[in-house]
Amino acid sequence: MIVRIWHGRTKTRDAEPYRQYVAATGMRDYTSVPGNLGAQIWQREEGDITHIWTISWWKDIESIKAFAGEDINTARYYDDDKRFLLEFEPTVEHCDAFDFRNPNQ
């Protein structure tokens, strides 16, 4: 299993509407791709700035490519992200994930 991690920062006053926007765009797109095993939005407020992460679990690299394109390390953005984000991080992180509840993995 592979975890894809994207990070962004928004003004805290925009965190709620941005989280709803991410749910309606990125989360919807993640979970519509065969091979996606789930996704979550994480956030942490630091005063006037709120950090947002999207965490998604994938069966394999080919599944991620179906979402992200051939260069899976490039972050994918949507039209209205520019209304909310303070900057556009160019890349995402990928990590191998191991579920210790499943010893056959």
Is residue 80 one of the residues assigned to a domain? yes
Mean pLDDT of 83-104: 90
Average pLDDT over residues 19-36: 96
pLDDT single digits (tens) 36-46:
999 999 999 99
Show the domain range for 86. Answer: 2-96
Residue 30 domain flag: yes
Q: Are strands 93-96 and 36-46 parallel, antiparallel or unpaired?
A: unpaired
pTM of the model: 0.91
CB contact at 8 A, 88 and 10: no
Looking at residue 42, which CATH number applies to its domain?
A: 3.30.70.100
Q: CA angle at residue 56 from 68 to 76, to 5 degrees? A: 30
Q: E-strand spans in 14-84?
A: 36-46, 49-58
Given a cut of 70, is residue 104 above it in pLDDT?
no
In this structure, the dihedral spanned by the alpha carbons of residues 51, 57, 58 and 61, taken in order and rounded to 10 degrees, is 40
Number of domains in the chain: 1
